[in-house]
């Protein structure tokens, strides 16, 4: 983060905590120096987490760094959405990744697309359309469309089958090879171009 952002976070700490020692120039300089080494958004969240536990004293730098690291390991959403029932379409991940390879001269440039799963709460929480954000400043052309835009009923059934097989790995059923699975998807996907590839570790 920038110096200005670090100063902003120190102001937050001053206002949020009953006791602080920021009048001591040494303390102030030390927090400033430490905070600048981290990402602003995540550190802001880390401060929230630390203050939630104790809002009397300014959290030590070491505590902030710990909270920061915890936030790194946690899911992106602060309020985690969970599926009540296992979602066979997306394996409870809420999305599938599609890879498209675009030719640029002699180069193959792979692009990755995220499609959200409209069949479960985790998936629906990942729907995103930057074009419809009410706050104009944050609008963007970036969207996460539902996987139903790319998969027809049969394609979705294949996703279900693949995930169910993964779950019941030990039943010893004969499984198609990954190649066959990919080939099937290519032929039955509603509007999948030949360059699309279903990108998930297929356990066969």
Which residues of this protein are in contact with Zn ion, per CB under 5 A?
87, 89-90, 117, 119-120, 123
| Measured distance CA(43)–CA(70) in Å, rounded | 11
Closest approach of Zn ion to the CB of residue 117, in Å: 3
Closest approach of Zn ion to the CB of residue 198, in Å: 15
Nearer to Zn ion, 1 or 117 (CB): 117
Nearer to Zn ion, 89 or 98 (CB): 89
| Measured distance CA(111)–CA(127) in Å, rounded | 19
Helical (H) or strand (E) element with 108: strand 107-116
Sign of the Cα torsion 73, 77, 83, 89 reads: negative
| Measured distance CA(40)–CA(36) in Å, rounded | 8
Closest approach of Zn ion to the CB of residue 33, in Å: 45
Nearer to Zn ion, 67 or 93 (CB): 93
Closest approach of Zn ion to the CB of residue 185, in Å: 17
Closest approach of Zn ion to the CB of residue 197, in Å: 20
| Measured distance CA(86)–CA(73) in Å, rounded | 23
Nearer to Zn ion, 1 or 89 (CB): 89
| Measured distance CA(134)–CA(172) in Å, rounded | 51
Phi, psi of 100, rounded to the nearest 5 degrees: -125, 135
Nearer to Zn ion, 68 or 95 (CB): 95
Closest approach of Zn ion to the CB of residue 28, in Å: 48
Q: Residue 135 half-sphere exposure, CB side, CA atoms within 13 Å?
A: 2
DSSP letter at 101? E
Nearer to Zn ion, 58 or 120 (CB): 120
Token pair of 43, please?
Answer: 């550190």
């Amino acid at each position: 983060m920038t110096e200005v952002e670090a100063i902003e976070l120190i102001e937050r700490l001053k206002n949020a905590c009953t006791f602080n020692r920021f009048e001591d120039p040494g303390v102030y300089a030390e927090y400033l120096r430490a905070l600048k080494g981290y990402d602003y958004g995540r550190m802001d969240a880390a401060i929230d987490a630390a203050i939630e536990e104790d809002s009397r004293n300014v959290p030590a730098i070491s505590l902030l760094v710990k909270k920061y690291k915890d936030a790194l390991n946690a899911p992106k959403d602060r309020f985690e959405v969970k599926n009540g029932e296992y979602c066979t379409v997306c394996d409870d991940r809420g999305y599938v990744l599609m890879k498209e390879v675009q030719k640029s001269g002699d180069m193959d440039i792979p692009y990755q697309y995220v499609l959200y799963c409209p069949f479960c709460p985790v998936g629906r929480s990942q729907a995103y359309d930057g074009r419809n954000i009410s706050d104009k400043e944050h609008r963007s052309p970036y969207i996460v469309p539902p996987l139903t835009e790319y998969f027809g009923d049969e394609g979705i059934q294949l996703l279900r089958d693949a995930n169910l097989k993964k779950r019941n790995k030990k039943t010893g059923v004969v499984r198609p090879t990954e190649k066959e699975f990919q080939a099937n998807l290519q032929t039955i996907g509603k509007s999948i171009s030949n360059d699309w590839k279903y990108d998930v570790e297929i356990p066969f």
